[in-house]
């Protein structure tokens, strides 16, 4: 025993720390340091060449409230998020209900439906950009060949750019959300529907009395996920519309991107970022309070 003890010079924790150290350093380098740095920047005026960082207190945050572009992009984000949430919940519920039926080739159908989520946001954005393009787009081509239009349509125009972006982004995340709902649907015992049929409850009643109570959690999770995904996505805006035409589809995230990488106003960009984080956190708190309240009421 004594000999064994002598040989074991390091405690389990020490050994664990040794193996974890690279990961911890890595995480610190790519997450904690940048976050801290960005938080500090948000209270500073930053110049890049020559590099200079001067503490400016709350000035960046105060500027936000007099920035009309900020309010414009905030409203675009709100509109974008709202549309994505509505489309995503509606579509994913529909798809989940469809997939829950006994279908031939169910496995293949499920795999095909999951595909859009397997694509990167980059691919999604470009695919939709090409699909909707006003001069060589696929959709215009199809409609023209079918004789439905005489002139090519400018789909992603000043009024409708946000909607098309919402459609494209929903197309990307709907599969994931549909599978959350499908998981919920599959917990429902078949006998409940049989019982309901015998009790004389019609299809609509069965949906509201059986299906909906069983998948309300899945719906809430979908609501939370699609809100946060949509509020924080940048790729789709940069690659699909570039925030345009004009600034019609400039979301908050895209506005931050332009402030930081086009105007090189790092401090102000950081401040808006943190402001966005604050909004998202408030929303998250609201959602989860709601979730727990429903949980208790069951």
Which positions lie near another protein, rule CB under 8 A? 189, 191-192, 194-201, 205, 209-210, 213-214, 298
If the CB atoms of residues 195 and 292 are measured against another protein, the closer one turns out to be 195
39 by Cβ neighbours in 10 Å (0-12 / 13-18 / 19+) ranks as middle
Q: Minimum CB separation from another protein for residue 216, in Å?
A: 9
CB of 226 to another protein, least distance (A): 25
We find the least distance from the C-beta atom of residue 207 to another protein, in angstroms, to be: 13
Cα–Cα distance between 291 and 257 in angstroms, integer? 33
Least gap, CB of 193 to another protein (angstroms): 9
* Of 90 and 205, CB closest to another protein: 205
- CB nearer to another protein: give 106 or 209: 209
Contacts of 285 (CB under 8 A, 6+ apart): none
Decide whether 157 or 292 has the Cβ nearer to another protein: 292
How far apart (Å, rounded) are the C-alpha atoms in residues 57 and 240?
Answer: 36
CB of 202 to another protein, least distance (A): 8
Q: Which residue, 210 or 239, has its beta carbon nearer to another protein? A: 210
**Beta carbons of 236 and 156 less than 8 angstroms apart:** no
Least distance CB 106 / another protein (angstroms) = 15
Q: Which is nearer to another protein, 119 or 201 (CB)?
A: 201
Smallest distance, Å, CB 213 to another protein? Answer: 4
- CB within 8 A of 18, min separation 6: which ones? 10
Q: DSSP of 85-126, one letter per residue?
A: HHHHHHHHHHHHHHHHS--TTHHHHHHHHHHHHHS-HHHHHH
Distance CA 84, CA 167 (A): 7
Q: Where are the alpha helices (DSSP H) in the chain?
A: 2-7, 12-27, 33-41, 59-64, 68-100, 106-118, 121-132, 138-145, 161-185, 190-199, 203-206, 212-232, 235-236, 252-261, 266-297
Considering beta carbons, is residue 141 or 189 the nearer one to another protein?
189
**Alpha-carbon span 62 to 142, nearest angstrom:** 50
């Amino acid at each position: 025993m004594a000999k064994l003890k002598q040989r074991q010079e390091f405690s389990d924790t020490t050994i664990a720390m040794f193996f974890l150290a690279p990961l911890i350093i890595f995480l610190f380098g790519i997450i904690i340091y940048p976050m801290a740095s960005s938080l500090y920047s948000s209270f500073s005026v930053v110049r890049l060449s020559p590099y200079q960082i001067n503490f400016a207190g709350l000035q960046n945050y105060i500027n936000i409230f007099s920035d009309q572009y900020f309010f414009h992009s905030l409203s675009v984000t709100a509109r974008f998020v709202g549309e994505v949430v509505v489309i995503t919940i509606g579509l994913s519920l529909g798809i989940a209900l469809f997939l829950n039926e006994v279908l031939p080739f169910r496995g293949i159908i499920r795999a095909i439906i999951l595909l859009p989520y397997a694509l990167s946001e980059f691919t999604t954005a470009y695919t939709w950009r090409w699909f909707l393009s006003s001069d060589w787009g696929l959709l215009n081509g199809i409609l023209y060949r079918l004789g439905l239009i005489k002139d090519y349509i400018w789909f992603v125009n000043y009024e409708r750019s946000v909607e098309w972006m919402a459609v494209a982004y929903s197309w990307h995340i709907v599969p994931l959300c549909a599978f959350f709902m499908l998981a919920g649907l599959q917990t429902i015992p078949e006998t409940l529907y049989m019982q309901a049929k015998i009790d004389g409850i019609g299809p609509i009643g069965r949906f509201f009395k059986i299906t909906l109570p069983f998948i309300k959690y899945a719906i809430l999770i979908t609501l939370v996920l699609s809100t946060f995904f949509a509020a924080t996505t940048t790729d789709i805006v940069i690659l699909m519309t570039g925030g345009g035409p004009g600034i019609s589809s400039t979301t908050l995230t895209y506005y931050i991107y332009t402030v930081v990488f086009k105007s090189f106003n790092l401090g102000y960009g950081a401040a808006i970022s943190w402001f966005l984080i604050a909004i998202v956190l408030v929303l998250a708190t609201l959602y989860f309070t709601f979730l727990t309240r429903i949980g208790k009421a069951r």
